[in-house]
A and B are shown apart, each in its own frame.
Chain A
């Protein structure tokens, strides 16, 4: 057990230690300062020329959003086209069928918004072509989109007054060529040498030692798994995601994959401080996020290591903890840590089945997605956190009787309205979606019996989890849910769209508005935002918004289940 806990320490330590220099590097390249990676500049210019885009023209925040949304719209049509025709396209050696339109809609949206909710299984529901040219493509595209949007906000927070916030394509392209592609290549290399497949050959027929006949699915897995984690996408190659022994073959690959998904969200936090030349601000944000993360991960590891009390009552010994839905090579501790790190960060890959986790772990996974700002997804985690900062600045400004201001810019009614709308949209989507679905289910429990894999409180948690995951653009699930139906496909698809673009548009708009305001130099009367006091303030704003909004739902689901089990 101690070796398992040691593994978690090594993992978290490695993530933080490497995120620091990476954050400095990110700040350097996005600022456009001299960097060792400048040898890629001619290659980037070539890509721009071939792609017919201008990556030098400075853009306003509206132009940024225009470029971002147009690109995303094109990708949506591309994804729909590929998924609806994949059965007839090349690179389909297993002869898998095309997706039905409602499923294709859900999948296209899901990968387009970095959510990667999957209502299909990779082995039978996708083809090698769609995995690589549609799903993996979007995993790169959305991660770079998130990073670029985040840099636009960084830009707006610099000193001085401006409405030119850099060039979207510049940030987007650099994110790909200088961050995501090289890192993915490194992670993919570790994976292929540990046994993850990277092949175009069809699934292998197999007669086992005992004489059973089966098939072993494979494909171009390693390339996709690397960006799945680094881009905090989470959409697995196989149905079982990173629990699958080919997608995550060893304890080492588990460490590397878990490290990879934490790396960029952590690094962007430090990059915020370095970019603005206010490193303390980055450390403050990191401190708040880490406090939230540790508070969630601790109980989850504890409960998973202590096993399921219902099994103990059957006289079963659980020296390794609760193992339903878990793999022996990872163990309960690494599975719990993975579960929480994948939900506070909107990656949503799984190396164990969250549906079978103990109620407190399930609740903490839900809370990770409900707050959605303890690290958060690549780029967008900071955008969510930024909204909470604005609210905290406003509240503490009122408390001490000063004009609320953040980094020398006044926070006024317009910015507050946007911040509040974004902050309240999240609980609204989750709770309204769950309420509506629960109502449907309660009205015809026999007709919709296929929806839930578990009765009682846990069944409610399954529905709550699905909408939370969709709204947090997370993509993990309580996978017992029978979710490949038009209702689930379309309703979660709509939730995902709203929950992705409004939380990007909102913070970028706030930042754009702030950038245009007059800069007020800091004085003795300024509320300092890079202090521990302010950090605690932000922390409580986050908890109050999450706890007040979600506590009743959590009480009906995981908490009720916990108290029946223990």
Chain B
């Protein structure tokens, strides 16, 4: 026992230094060179931090582009999805209610024009993005709420569409809304 156990204990201590002190210290040192210095990329407006670039936040007001539904109301210290199964009757009821609410708040929009991400909760509850269609469909409402013409708002959305060689196109809701506030 003693011949097996004590060396294992000592070896573990050495491994702890290697994997849990040296390795994280190297990563931490590299992070100091990165944007945000490893503390998360923060976005400020008028000297006040208003959000993290990658972390979605709640936008429910009519004058902003609304973010996706979230199972945790965008509380970024408690990430989670809804975990609702695709055939759950309560879930389908909730999606229908979201659709009705959306149509009521966005008169003139047809159900088939509402992309599914505006009616479904994301995996983390903190999804920072919408698809381009998810933002475009909200343009008339946002423009009306702010007394703006449609064209500049639509152009703003189009400017904020991020595409790359691989993967889906997306719009960062926080960046879009900050630009929207700056438009006036």
Contacts and interface: CB of A to CB of B under 8 A. Distances in A.
Interface of A: 3-4, 6-7, 10, 47, 50-53, 66-67, 70-71, 73-75, 78, 94, 121, 123-124, 132-133, 136-137, 140-141, 169, 176-177, 181, 184-185, 188-189, 192-193, 195, 197-201, 203-204, 206-210, 212, 214-218, 220, 222-223, 226, 238-240, 243-246, 249-251, 254-255, 307-308, 310-311, 314-320, 322-331, 334-335, 350-353, 355-359, 453-458, 461, 478-480, 561, 564-565
A181 B26 CA distance: 11
Given A53-B7, A207-B50, A479 B174 contact: no
Interface in B1-47: 4-16, 18-20, 23-24, 26-28, 30-31, 34-42, 45
B150 interface: no
B95 to A, nearest CB: 6
Given A206-B49, A210-B61, A453-B84, A243 B123 contact: yes
Interface of B: 4-16, 18-20, 23-24, 26-28, 30-31, 34-42, 45, 48-61, 64, 68, 74-89, 91-92, 95-96, 99, 111-117, 119-131, 133-134, 164-168, 170, 174, 177-178, 181
B70 to A, nearest CB: 11
Contacts of B36: 195, 197
A318 B117 CA distance: 8
Given A74-B9, A136-B20, A141-B15, A193 B115 contact: no
A209 B177 contact: yes
B53 to A, nearest CB: 7
B27 A70 contact: no
Nearest to B5: A70
Contacts, number: 373
20 contacts: A7-B166, A74-B8, A121-B80, A123-B77, A123-B79, A198-B31, A203-B77, A204-B40, A210-B58, A210-B59, A220-B24, A223-B23, A226-B27, A311-B92, A317-B114, A326-B120, A328-B168, A353-B123, A455-B89, A480-B84
B167 A310 contact: no
A137 B11 CA distance: 13
A431 B114 CA distance: 42
A253 B27 CA distance: 16
B112 A192 contact: no
B87 A456 contact: yes
Contacts of B76: 206, 214-217
Contact of B99 (A214, A316, A480): A316
Given A240-B126, A251-B166, A329-B129, A316 B85 contact: no
A228 B154 CA distance: 41
B184 to A, nearest CB: 14
Given A123-B79, A324-B82, A329-B168, A140 B87 contact: no
Nearest to A224: B24
Ranked nearest first, the 3 interchain pairs of A and B with the lowest CB-CB distance are: A243-B123, A480-B83, A458-B85
A184 B127 CA distance: 26
A320 B51 contact: no
B120 A323 contact: yes
A197 B39 contact: yes
A355 B3 CA distance: 47
A314 B91 CA distance: 12
B124 A195 contact: no
Given A243-B81, A454-B88, A195 B35 contact: yes
A51 B7 contact: yes
Most buried by A among B51, B111, B168: B168
A405 B170 CA distance: 56
B34 A457 contact: no
Given A215-B76, A223-B27, A320 B88 contact: no
Most buried by A among B26, B119, B167: B167
A220 B39 CA distance: 9
Given A245-B126, A308-B86, A353-B81, A251 B58 contact: no
B87 A208 contact: no
Contacts of A136: 19-20, 24
B83 A209 contact: no
Given A195-B53, A356-B84, 19 more contacts: A7-B167, A51-B11, A67-B8, A74-B9, A75-B12, A123-B77, A193-B34, A204-B39, A204-B40, A209-B181, A214-B76, A216-B76, A243-B123, A246-B40, A316-B99, A316-B114, A328-B130, A479-B83, A564-B87
